[in-house]
Chains A and B, each alone.
Chain A
Amino acid sequence: MSKDSMPTKEELKKEKAEALEILKNATDAANALTAKKESANKSKAETSNSELEDLKKMVLEQQASLSGMKGELSALGEERQKLEQEVIPVAEIEETKPEITEIKEEITTPEETPENTEVKQEEIKAIPEPEKIPENKSKTKAEKRAENRKKNGIEEKPKKDKQKIDETREKVLASMEQKEEEKEEIKNLDLEDKKDADKDTLEQKVEYFNLTGKDINRIAQKIKDKEYLEADDRALYEQNPQLFESAVKTKWRSATSWLAGGYLWLQQKFLTTPKTEKIVITDEEIAENHPETVVDEDKETKKAEYAKRLHETLSITDMGAAYGIERAKMATDAPEIQEENKKPKKESSKEREARLTQEFIEKVQNQIDAKMTGEWKGASENERAEKARALYVSEKQIFDKEKIERAGIFTKSLHATENWWKNLENKKGGAFWKTAISSSMVGTGIVLGGIATGSLEASFGKIAWRLGSRIGLATGLNSMLASNRMKTIISGLKPKDQADIKKMKYVLAGTGIAVSGIMGGWVVAGIAAGGYGVRQILNKIDQYGVKKIAEQKMETEKILKSADFKDGYDRNKMIKNISVFNDAYNKLEKTIRLENRYSAATKYILSTGIGLATLTAMTPSVAHAQHDTTSEVHKDMIQDKNGSWIEKPKLSDAHGTQPTDQNTTAPITNPETKTPEIEFTEVKAGDGVTQTLKRLVDEDKAPKWVLDELGKNPKADDYAKFAEKFGMLHAKDFEDSIRVSKGDSFGFDEKENFIWKHGDQNYTVIEIDKNGDAEEGDWMDKMQDEKFIHSQSNHINSVENSNQDLNAENPETGDKSVDTGGEGNPSEEKIDPNKIVEPEPLDNKNAPIENTPENTTGPTVPPETNIEPTNMNPYSLPQEQLDYVNDIYKNYLERMFPNNESLKYWSGIQNNSALDLIQVKADVVATESRGLYRLAQTIFHQTGLEPKHPTLANPLEEKETIKNYIIRGMQYAASKNNLNQITL
């Protein structure tokens, strides 16, 4: 190598300075990166792995960049070596690079010898640390050179070496980062070897998602064995059920592979692709996304910041691979990702169930469509509809069974539930429960329908719950009772002894009371649904109670008669018999007390229909008032062992006899609560709340505040708004006015409070003041009060009366002079026991008890008017024909009840249930009723007319009275020209 070809001293110095510059910058960058990394490591535990991910990503970028530039670095080295080795003639240099001449002139230092201008390789290697090199020196020289170039008119050209230096600087920076990467967690990623399915590596990757292969294996095994998952495991399971479902099928290794695969996929897409647009962050991107950072911020910091933000949308930590991938897909517009999105996604369990349900619906619809045009074509429309419904229910049951099989870890429990439900009917009282639960399930939806359409407030359920706890069994039965089950249960019990009575009590009280306690809330739903045949059921219960009393009486009579006094009085046997009787009686009495309490409550609710429930639901203050006044309501009551409220024993009954107070003669009306000064407007048939309100105003019975509220010339909508404001439902969205009953009435008291009075029974449903504050009326107090429950008193007195009779027949067995009045109660002393008790209608056997309000008022109709027919004419008979029917009717009655005594008997039973009369057996009918019984049977068989009674279709239907049934039956027969067949 010739001397001329050697680089000049200036050139070497320049290169040295530039190299030092590069190293200095690289050192600074490395220091900054190290500091950042240390910071990231420190906060790793708290700030999430996402920062770590940021760092990883940055390093990976640099790594990728570096690998791309390795070749260039190598080329640069070669060129440098070449420069060192080549001897370039000075003339050639001066010719090709005139600036060299200028620089040469500047160098005048005497000690500069050609020898000194040679820079040894060792010197280059021994470049001092960047911080030790004064920056000013090179800067000054550069400036001087620039000035000289300017003076000489030489245009500065970009130098190849300068570009290379820039590149080198980047490479060094990348190299530093790469070293960090190798030291830190990046090495664990093992990015280069995607095929490495080594167990440990996979587990490491799974751990990245807070799962280990062991976790998956354990949970999967439990799922497979249908064992219960502990809370921690369930949390993991819920994080990604698909993973575990997959693991159940494929064992944990496959699952982990799947997970790791997902992770690797993500890496491949977002972390390791060198030039992925969204990941390699350019200055332009930074400027675009973070313009506020462009001017002052360090480039690396800006990069890091943006990378962090970007990565937040890509974070896969703690999300599970699938979720992370999903999010990642959302976060990128990369074509390959868009393509990926087009592929069918893995369904979640919810999505799968939704899909299967939709498929099920379509399948059944198709089946129905096919059958409608095929197999069912010949059937009538109704028949086809019925078949379609049956098909749907049947298919739904099958579908649910399949659903249970898909329920994973809960399949076992669901199977157990299925068996439990199936076996319910085999349990004592289980059939009742099954039907009752079903009824409630059906009824609850109806309430929700009301909520969904805004007819009921969403808080209905909550309020209803409280309401339920108040009303108790009444509402429970209302929703839960379904006809035949209860009848079957009841009729299946034939109490022959105390054990059976206990059994009966258990069924009635045990199920019933418990029902109300636990289902109080949703049973109110049944009210809105109308209550399934509850009247019928409750009447049956009443009838059952009476029947059992009658049977018990007969049993008791037998026992008493078995004590043959002629052959010798067996005192011990008699005492024993009486003891048995009393015991049985007491037990029976309690049952009846409970039954009738519920019966009365339910009767009330039904008579007001949906009104109470909805009114209460829409008037939270009512529910609040209910809640707050519970203790007040029960102040004179005690709870029996079933938890039901019963009246405290009356101290006034000093003789220990059953209370037979004025309520038996006036069972409903309580004079103390009458408010005669209030002018009420009665709800007429077909009236709703708004119509009644309007009449109230029209009749000048409304106070000023109501008129103000309504405004001038109020229209129907104004009344409706008024009603709504005070929590009353109006008929706007409903077909009829079932929320108020015919016979209810509205009025205002002396304080101008609005009063809604129920029927002709003087208790109030609700009171609303001018501020719209509603308070519950005294209906519950009345209803809870034993005095109010007419039938209970009647039953008790029936037995009591019977007891008296027995005692009268057998003077030795008891006191003949039964005290029917309580001490200190003058009104009771005036009562004639014979008038208190309703005539025993059917020889005390199977006596039908009608729960209609008419029956509760007692025999108040004068005997001579009892044979008068009603004005009913449901079949629109011409007047002449109607008169003829009425004449026949009166004739029959006169024949059946020829004297005042028998007419009085008729007055006592005419409003009893015709259905009950028809259903009893002839051999148990009392002599006085036999003619009536035959007439009713004749009408039934000749006309086919069934007495009206509550049904599921029309639960609010009153039980048709005997009187009305006979008249209607005769009119119907007349309309068919068959009246001559209705004979006595």
Chain B
Amino acid sequence: MLTNKNEVRQNIIDLFEIDKMPEDKQEEMIAKIGGIIFQSVIMRILPLMPEEDLAEYNKMMEENANPEKVFDFLFEKVPNFFGIIAEESENFRKEAGEVLSKI
């Protein structure tokens, strides 16, 4: 069982040894993982949105809106958006930890 110390250290960066990758690979891996977590966050928050907000969100996506606008919207409309990000990030960490536990 991991100690607190180890668990703190066993974050996504450590799990994927991103710090040991070449810089361009680091970026690529972070982008992939970030994309996965981002999708999870969106999957989670869409059902929470009222009809009009969801319609607005869809419109933004279809219009390829500026990220700034999108995130403004999400922070404004989704309660505890930060918490959801954190939870989904943690879910990913746990899952990855489970899968990669044997390597």
Contact = CB atoms under 8 A, between A and B. Distances in A.
Given A445-B90, A446-B11, A461-B86, A410 B17 contact: no
A951 B13 contact: no
Given A230-B51, A437-B38, A420 B61 contact: yes
Contact of B86 (A357, A403, A448): A448
A228 B54 contact: yes
Interface stretch (A51-59, A391-399, A643-651, A836-844): A391-399
A438 B68 contact: no
Given A413-B58, A455-B4, A442 B68 contact: no
5 contacts: A434-B31, A442-B13, A442-B33, A444-B85, A484-B24
Interface in A519-544: 519, 521-522, 525, 529, 532
A732 to B, nearest CB: 9
Interface residues of A, number: 85
A519 to B, nearest CB: 7
Contact of A421 (B10, B35, B54, B92): B35
A28 interface: no
Interface in B17-67: 17-20, 23-24, 26-27, 29-43, 46-47, 50-51, 54-55, 57-58, 60-62, 64-67
Interface size of B as a range: 35 or more
A452 interface: yes
A388 interface: yes
Interface stretch (A165-173, A361-369, A823-831): A361-369
Contacts of A407: 43, 46
Given A392-B99, A397-B32, A416-B62, 18 more contacts: A361-B99, A365-B99, A389-B16, A413-B42, A417-B42, A420-B61, A433-B67, A437-B38, A441-B34, A442-B13, A442-B33, A444-B85, A445-B86, A449-B7, A451-B86, A452-B7, A484-B23, A529-B13
Nearest to B10: A449
Contacts of B85: 440-441, 444, 522
B30 A442 contact: yes
Contacts, number: 223
A450 B34 CA distance: 19
A363 to B, nearest CB: 10
A442 B89 contact: yes
A448 B91 CA distance: 10
B37 A441 contact: yes
Interface of B: 4-5, 7-13, 15-20, 23-24, 26-27, 29-43, 46-47, 50-51, 54-55, 57-58, 60-62, 64-68, 70-72, 75, 82-83, 85-90, 92-93, 95-96, 98-100, 102-103
Given A392-B100, A435-B30, A445 B93 contact: yes
A911 interface: no
Interface of A: 228-231, 357, 361, 364-365, 368-369, 372, 384-386, 388-389, 392-393, 396-397, 400, 403-404, 407, 410, 412-414, 416-421, 423-424, 427, 429-430, 433-435, 437-442, 444-455, 461, 464-465, 482-485, 510-511, 514-515, 518-519, 521-522, 525, 529, 532, 733-735, 951-954
A445 B92 contact: yes
**Quick one: which of A372, A384, A446 has the most chain B CB within 10 A?**
A446
Contacts of A952: 13, 18-19, 23, 26
B99 A410 contact: no
A449 B95 contact: no
Nearest to B90: A448
Given A437-B67, A511-B68, A953 B20 contact: yes
Contacts of A404: 39, 43
A519 B51 contact: no
Nearest to A412: B58
Contact of A361 (B26, B66, B67, B95): B95
Contact of B58 (A416, A434, A442): A416
B67 to A, nearest CB: 4
Contacts of A449: 7-8, 10-11, 90, 93
Contacts of A393: 16, 29, 32-33, 36
Contacts of B39: 400, 404, 414, 417-418, 421
B22 to A, nearest CB: 10
Given A397-B36, A442-B89, A448-B86, A414 B46 contact: yes
